[in-house]
């Protein structure tokens, strides 16, 4: 068990926020150095920020109306596929890639080799 303290500065306002988060781990004390725990927490948030946040914000996944059968799973698969393809194509951000192909739908098929 541990406690992580964070100081966060909001870029728009300059306001500083102080947060504390308790963490629980199954690691043994000799495996759970502060550096190791911080590495694990940062790794978790890297995944959250890189994948889930993009799906939630860019694709507005939470407001999706697809709710029955295999529909939600298929939509998640398609969103993940789109994110992966845009990253493989080297776009600086997923929204930039989406805008690029929204203006040129044929290029999307060409980029996939179709």
Q: How far apart are CA 20 and CA 55, in angstroms?
A: 26
Are 23 and 10 in contact by the 8 Å Cβ rule? The answer is no
Q: What is the pLDDT of residue 101?
A: 94
The CA-based dihedral angle spanning residues 71, 74, 75, 76, taken in that order and rounded to the nearest 10 degrees: 130
The contacts of residue 51 (CB under 8 Å, 6+ apart) are: 80, 83
Q: How far apart are CA 100 and CA 114, in angstroms?
A: 18
Instruction: Indicate yes or no: pTM above 0.85.
Output: no
Q: What is the pLDDT of residue 18?
A: 94
Confidence label for 14 from pLDDT (cuts 50, 70 and 90): very high
**Which strand (E) or helix (H) includes residue 44?**
helix 34-47
Residues 52-72: tens digit of each pLDDT: 788 888 998 888 899 999 999
Over 80: is that where the pLDDT of 48 sits? no
């Amino acid at each position: 068990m541990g406690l992580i303290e964070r100081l966060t500065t909001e870029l728009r306002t300059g306001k500083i926020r102080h947060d504390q988060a308790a963490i629980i781990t199954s690691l043994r004390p000799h495996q759970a150095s502060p550096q190791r725990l911080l590495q694990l927490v940062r790794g978790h948030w890297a995944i959250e920020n890189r994948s889930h946040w993009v799906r939630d914000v860019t694709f507005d996944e939470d407001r999706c109306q697809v709710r029955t059968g295999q529909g939600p799973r298929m939509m998640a698969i398609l969103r993940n596929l789109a994110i992966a393809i845009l990253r493989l194509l080297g776009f600086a951000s997923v929204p930039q890639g989406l805008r690029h192909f929204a203006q040129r739908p044929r290029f999307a098929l060409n980029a996939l080799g179709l």
